Chain A
């Protein structure tokens, strides 16, 4: 059957009420009654359809708004905060950086290639509809395990998601420069695909999605509307079930080539200075873009749906309002500029059609062949969705996992056991090199990528400037699961630390909250606790949240996914020569551990990968210490005292050192002292730690900076040779050829992924 059966007859308003047709669209009884109040009558089919998508979680944030209210959103550099397509942050000289993250989890579960591809397309539109030129893409991905023979479906999802991201980003010519990937049982059946886009803009060009100026024409641009993804927004706001299979036509196919044309044409249009308001058609398509643009201006809008370019014959107003066909935009100009606007799109061979006008009555009026088929109050659809303060309950698992003694595992003693554990960790798919992934992405196009994927953060040079932008996405959901508050703090702290490791000053955050069903009190507790932690960290680290996305109802047969907040962060490097990398640079350089190592093995990679346990209290972040450490490190980097810097995260100190050695193609001979047990010292995942290297003659000056800041340091030894050798408290601990470590780290994912071919 096609998406909508030709013979389907739309139910009447009374039938909708009597048969509770609204319930199938995700509207509750209470919401339906409220809608009838706003309308002053029972809504017809297209009207209830409009309400249902606008009042879905995806568009209204009805469950998450109280959570989002916790985040700090102001800062001296913030030019546009949450609410617009994307946030905007000043980087000086009249320029600004624009960025946002979006999820495409459910579509990717159903059709991984197209789901991921259209996710990329959507986030790009958010950026260029602000008037910004997209300069970089990142992604944060979660899948079930891939390493066992029976994980074929997870390998398929992983492979196709990566190809979908590549297919779209490469074609449109925006480099995909970074990301993170985690494989964990928790994501079986519900993978996560979050995509972030970063753009660059001149202050003067910043656009808003407002339908100002009563009487102004409203233009539709981009490819024709088809019956794609009808009810996609509602779909994203429901749990995945067997029935979702039946909703398969909700999957949309992306056309990156069309989007490239739309992007160039829109940027040209914006450059011309005639745009009054512009917005992309994302989730809930024409409905959301028209209603939001009208609402922001306090106006109304009249749309003539028969003028909308259509891909299929006989499309109904309902289908046109709810279609999520990709690569489409809506914009408003003054009547005298209409011709100029149309000429631009003509040059790019794109349809650009006058589909309506701005009105003063606050109504969204839908016309079809001269007949009024819908008449809705704009404010009610956009702003009056009820907000739910959901019940909160601490889940039973929390006490249990907190009580587990993470230090009780048998001690790994001696060179062989410790080096073996390191090799195991390096070849765990979550920690292993993601080269297999990022070599499928064109990370070089636009010739500004001065730090390619593989380091702590990607760095993109600003054209015709000495500045550069560092960008990263991070989030350790196992830690968030074990302690949402601490995990939330840690996610923000880690993202900022990654930026600082490249020599960048963290500017601001975009976040993606991927959680289970918020109607479950334990899930809402996770949301609440983790957001509290994130908010505190953003406050202390002076990185306001300028936008984000919420993806709830991520559940599979065994319950909710791990609570997965993903932090996207962008930082500024004032002078490109100050950029640092994670790899060791020169033989003789001194290797220094910055920060304090505590016996924090709860939720660690060591426990998960070597002992098969995923419990215990995760590391705690002291935000004041984190902040001091980051500032001291940044100061040292800016003074030219740091040769390389790499943060300690998954797998702790041992993995961080190994990665610096592999990246630099050089070994090191190191020796540490500690009060901890040797294996705890090497694999603890305590926060606020970084492994740096420095020229011998600069070590003293460098250490003084940290000492003044009250940050602990320990000089471990020197870079050099082709082996990584490390003693702990005088006893041999790590001993391996760099080539061997590299093979483990680089070879893990390719060898797993060649299995099915």
Chain B
């Protein structure tokens, strides 16, 4: 399969994402520059973390208008697998590919630490490698990860089972302890924690590996179906 990691001015987890994808998923990984306009060649697209455009104004607000986001929207509509991590999640929210918005952390401070997540759904294309209810270790590193949506939206998310990851010990004040959500179709996942930082025991956890493995397995299954 072919994977893409988008690079915006100010992205800083792009290299880490490329390394993680290379380590886990067979096939090419390309960095795709924000001024490019074509993502049609890719099965899996990662919108990495960082501080796109300095996170000035609101995180993700300016990046959302980069030329590449248009084809990201098309890829989402076409059912391609899209993973937004941290700033990538914020960009997906600003672009309207996922519902809700981010506020500054309850503590107002940047928080970087290992974090325990509960897997709420082990059947999405991102999480078949986990058991539902399993507790995994994936670190967070952000200042604006305090997820917000109104009550009606929250009910929709819960009813549709769109909450994929929840914090065991909420580090930022997000509603309903939400750490990661998917779109209704299930092909777009946004999460504040960094799975690409949990891919080697030496880094403190390798629980992130199974997320990328799940994505690869899904792609393989789709391929088989086609064959």
Residue of A nearest to B113 (CB): A439
In the complex, A172→B50 CA distance in Å?
A: 8
Mask, A551-579, CB within 8 Å of B = 1, is 00000000000000000000000001000
Residues of B near A438 (CB, < 8 A) are 112
Q: Are A445 and B111 neighbours in the complex by a CB distance under 8 Å?
A: no
- Cβ-closest chain A residue relative to B13: A445
A-chain residues with CB within 8 Å of residue B110 when the two chains form the complex: 163, 166-167, 170, 440-442
Tell me whether chain B's interface is mostly helix, strand or loop, or mixed: mixed
Cβ of A255 within 8 Å of any chain B Cβ, yes or no, is yes
Among A167, A172, A173, A461, residue most surrounded by chain B Cβ atoms (within 10 Å)? A173
B residues sitting closer than 8 Å to A (CB atoms) are 9-10, 12-13, 15-16, 19-20, 50-51, 53-56, 109-113, 139, 141, 143, 194, 196-197, 199-200, 202-204
19 A–B contacts, CB within 8 A, in A order? A166-B109, A167-B110, A170-B110, A170-B141, A171-B12, A257-B53, A260-B12, A260-B51, A439-B113, A440-B110, A440-B111, A441-B112, A442-B110, A444-B197, A444-B203, A446-B15, A447-B197, A452-B204, A461-B202
Question: Judging by beta carbons under 8 Å apart, are A444 and B112 in contact?
Answer: yes
A-side contacts of B51, CB under 8 Å: 170-171, 173, 256-257, 260
Task: Name the residue of chain A whose CB is nearest to the CB of B194.
Answer: A444
Contact B55 A171 (CB under 8 A): yes
Q: How far is the CA of A172 from the CA of B111 in the complex (A)?
A: 16
The CA of A687 and the CA of B127, in the complex, are separated in Å by: 52
Cross-chain contact B112 with A442 (CB below 8 angstroms): yes
CB-based contact B203/A442 at 8 Å: no
Contact check, A349 vs B9: say whether CB atoms are below 8 A apart: yes
Q: Choose from A172, A255, A444 the contact partner of B141 (Cβ within 8 Å).
A: A444
For A439, give its contact among B112, B196, B199 (CB under 8 Å): B112
Q: Which of B54, B56, B141 is A445 in contact with, Cβ under 8 Å? A: B141
Q: Once the chains are docked, how many angstroms separate the CA of A446 from the CA of B141?
A: 12
Contact indicator A173/B50 (Cβ below 8 Å): yes
Q: Output the nearest chain B residue to A450 by Cβ-Cβ distance.
A: B202
When the two chains form their complex, are residues B203 and A450 in contact, meaning their CB atoms are under 8 A apart? yes
Cβ of B199 to closest chain A Cβ, rounded Å = 7
Q: Which residues of B contact A167 (CB under 8 A)?
A: 110
Residue of A255, A439, A461 ringed by the most chain B CB atoms within 10 A = A439
A447 to B209, CA, bound (A): 14
- Cross-chain contact of A257 among B9, B196, B204 (Cβ < 8 A): B9
Q: Which residues does chain A contribute within 8 Å of B112, judged by CB atoms?
A: 170, 438-444
What is the CB-to-nearest-CB distance from A168 to chain B, in angstroms, rounded to a whole number? 10
A705 within 8 Å of B by Cβ?
no
Tell me, in angstroms, the Cα distance from A443 to B112 when the chains sit together: 7
Residues from chain A with Cβ under 8 Å of B55 in the complex? 171, 257
Q: Write the chain A residue with the least CB distance to B141.
A: A442
Q: What residues of A have a CB within 8 angstroms of the CB of B113 in the complex? A: 439
- Distance of A251 Cα from B117 Cα, bound (Å): 42
Q: Which residues of A contact B12 (CB under 8 A)?
A: 171-173, 260, 445
Bound CA–CA A292/B19 (angstroms): 39
What separation, in Å, do the CA atoms of A258 and B53 have in the docked complex? 9
Contact bitstring A165-187, B, C-beta under 8 A = 1, else 0: 01100111100000000000000
If A257-B56, A261-B9, A442-B141 touch, whether A447 touches B19 (CB-CB below 8 Å) is: yes
Kindly identify which residue among A166, A171, A442, A445 contacts B10, using a CB–CB cutoff of 8 Å: A171
| Known A257-B54, A260-B10, A349-B9; contact A444-B109, beta-carbon cutoff 8 A | no
Seen from chain A, the residues whose Cβ lies within 8 Å of a Cβ on chain B are 163, 166-167, 170-173, 255-258, 260-261, 348-349, 438-447, 449-450, 452, 461, 576
Question: Which 4 pairs show the lowest CB-CB distances between chains A and B?
Answer: A173-B12, A257-B54, A171-B51, A447-B16
Q: Which residues of A contact B200 (CB under 8 A)?
A: 447
User: How far, in whole Å, are A529 and B110 apart by their CA atoms in the complex?
Assistant: 41
Most buried by A among B12, B19, B50, B204: B12
Which A residues lie within 8 Å of B199 (CB)?
A: 447
Complex formed: what's the CA distance from A560 to B216 in Å? 62
Chain B residue at smallest Cβ distance from A435: B113
* Measured CA separation A445–B54 after assembly (Å): 16
Give B167 Cβ to nearest chain A Cβ, in Å.
Answer: 15
Q: How far is the CB of A425 from chain B (nearest CB, A)?
A: 25
Partner of A449, one of B9, B13, B109, B203: B203
| Distance, CA A548 to CA B20, complexed state (A) | 36
CB distance from A582 to the nearest CB of B (A): 16
Of listed B9, B20, B199, residue having the most chain A CB within 10 A: B9
Please tell me which one of the listed residues A255, A444, A461 contacts residue B139 in the complex, with CB atoms under 8 A apart: A444
> How far is B53's CA from A438's CA once the two chains are assembled, in angstroms?
24
Nearest to B14 among chain A residues (CB) is: A173
- A640 and B159 alpha carbons, distance in the complex (Å): 54
Tell me the complex Cα distance, A439–B16, Å: 20
A444 to B16, CA, bound (A): 10
Q: How distant is the Cα of A308 from the Cα of B75 in the complex, in angstroms?
A: 43
Counting chain A CB atoms within 10 Å of each CB, the highest count among B19, B54, B194 belongs to B54
Closest B residue to A166 using CB positions: B110
Q: Is the CB of B13 within 8 A of A348?
A: no
Question: Given A163-B109, A257-B53, A446-B15, 7 more contacts at CB 8 Å?
Answer: A163-B110, A166-B110, A257-B56, A260-B10, A445-B13, A447-B196, A461-B202
CB neighbours of B20 from chain A (8 A): 447
- Residues of A contacting B202 in the complex (Cβ-Cβ under 8 angstroms): 450, 461, 576
Q: Whole-angstrom distance between the alpha carbons of A171 and B199 in the complex?
A: 22
Residues in B with CB closer than 8 Å to A445 are 12-13, 16, 141, 197
Q: Contact check, A447 vs B203: say whether CB atoms are below 8 A apart.
A: yes
Q: Which residues of B contact A258 (CB under 8 A)?
A: 54
Evaluate contact between A173 and B13: CB separation under 8 angstroms: yes
Complex-state Cα separation, A673 to B158, whole angstroms: 63
* Closest B residue by C-beta to A257: B54
- Least CB distance from B210 to A in Å reads 17
A404 to B48, CA, bound (A): 59
Report the bound CA distance from A25 to B134 in whole Å. Answer: 66
Complex Cα–Cα for A348 and B34 (A): 11
State how many angstroms separate the Cβ of B63 from the closest Cβ of chain A: 11
Distance of B36 from chain A, by nearest CB (Å): 12
Q: For the complex, what is the distance from the CA of A348 to the CA of B11, rounded to whole Å? A: 13
CB proximity of B10 to chain A, nearest CB, Å: 5
**Which chain A residue lies CB-closest to B204?**
A452
Q: Which residues of the partner chain A approach B141 to less than 8 Å between Cβ atoms?
A: 170, 442, 444-445
Give the docked Cα–Cα distance between A444 and B10 (Å): 17
A452 to B109, CA, bound (A): 19
Residue of B whose beta carbon sits closest to that of A349: B9
